[in-house]
């Protein structure tokens, strides 16, 4: 079984679930999970977790993301993107580029965003888009999202090309919709490209056909990020062989049970320091999990286990 994270370029027409299903066929393994839904017409970075890396799915879903999008002014749709039913069209001739850009920049920071009806959020066990397809609209509570930055790349009214850096849970099409409402012309999202999720960037992403070719050529592991390297900013610790069973079973590990005790200010491989959280290995080099240091008891306590018991038996 392959364990690690692969940076997939999700192409238009595929759902995130389609990507997972196709990868299961290409790689010949079932244990695969994606790290955050992209709409079928959206493209770009979709980190996919393989094997025991599926324990990372929730952690990567929580990471900040960067998108490139085209805002289309003057058109309001039921899905808030260009694929939806047009509800209203408005002339944009009176809009000036400066006014548009000032409005857009006001969204930088925190704002309350109401999730769209055409989304995978669940209410009483049913996905919103399922209700929307039945012609139902229900009240949705606004959610606080963080827009870290919006860089306007080009403005050619009625279109604006933007790069948006944002927190998890942000709907870019809703951002486009809200900007249009503020400008009084309405708007929708014409296109969406996700360019970054955490450490994974567009330039390194691979289409499914490329992944299949690498698998056939026996070089797929070149494209897989090992689980422990997802925490490369953390220092590394090694538990002594005679005490490794403590770590294997998720128990606290006293500092003097380590090969390198007193290493509470280890630097991660990217040069940053973290005095509290560490990667724990055994003397065979197997990655056990993430541990945090408790200063009072001078011991390391498990945060998340990644070692499978099958590895020990193997």
Residue ranges of alpha helices (H) inside 6-144 are 16-27, 57-61, 97-105, 128-133
In a 3-state reduction of DSSP, which class is residue 230? Answer: helix
Determine the Cα–Cα distance for residues 308 and 32; give it in Å rounded to an integer.
16
Question: Is the C-alpha dihedral spanning 55, 58, 63, 67 positive or negative?
Answer: positive
Q: Which of 294, 296, 284, 276 has its CA nearest to residue 248?
A: 284
Instruction: Measure the CA–CA gap between 305 and 314, rounded to whole angstroms.
Output: 18
**Active site positions, annotated:** 39
For 249, phi then psi, to 5°, come to: -95, 10
């Amino acid at each position: 079984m392959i364990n690690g994270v692969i940076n997939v370029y999700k192409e238009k027409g595929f759902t995130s679930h389609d990507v997972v299903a196709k990868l299961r066929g290409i790689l010949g393994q079932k244990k695969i999970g994606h790290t955050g839904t992209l709409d079928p017409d959206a493209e770009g970075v979709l980190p996919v977790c393989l094997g025991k890396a599926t324990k990372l799915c929730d952690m990567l879903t929580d990471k900040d993301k960067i998108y490139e999008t085209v805002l289309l002014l003057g058109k309001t749709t039921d899905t808030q993107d260009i694929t939806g039913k047009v509800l209203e069209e408005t002339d944009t001739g009176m809009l000036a580029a400066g006014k548009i850009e000032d409005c857009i920049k006001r969204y930088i920071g925190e704002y309350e965003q109401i999730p769209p009806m055409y989304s995978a959020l669940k209410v009483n066990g049913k996905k919103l888009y399922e209700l929307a397809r039945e012609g139902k609209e229900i009240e949705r509570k606004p959610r606080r999202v963080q827009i870290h930055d919006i860089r306007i790349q080009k403005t050619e009214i009625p279109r604006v090309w933007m790069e948006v850096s944002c927190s998890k849970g942000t709907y870019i099409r809703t951002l486009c919709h809200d900007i249009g409402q503020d400008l009084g012309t309405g708007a929708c999202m014409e296109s969406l490209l996700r360019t970054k999720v955490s450490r994974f960037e567009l330039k390194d992403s691979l289409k499914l056909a490329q992944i299949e070719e690498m698998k056939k050529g026996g070089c797929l592991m070149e494209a897989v990020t090992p689980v422990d390297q997802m925490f490369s900013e953390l220092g590394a610790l090694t538990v002594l062989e005679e005490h490794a069973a403590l770590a294997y079973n998720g128990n606290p590990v006293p500092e003097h049970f380590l090969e390198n005790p007193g290493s509470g200010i280890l630097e991660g491989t990217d040069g940053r320091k973290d005095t509290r959280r560490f990667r724990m290995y055994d003397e065979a080099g197997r990655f056990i999990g993430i541990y945090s240091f408790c200063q009072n008891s001078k011991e390391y306590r498990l945060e998340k286990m990644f070692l499978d018991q099958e590895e020990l038996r193997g």
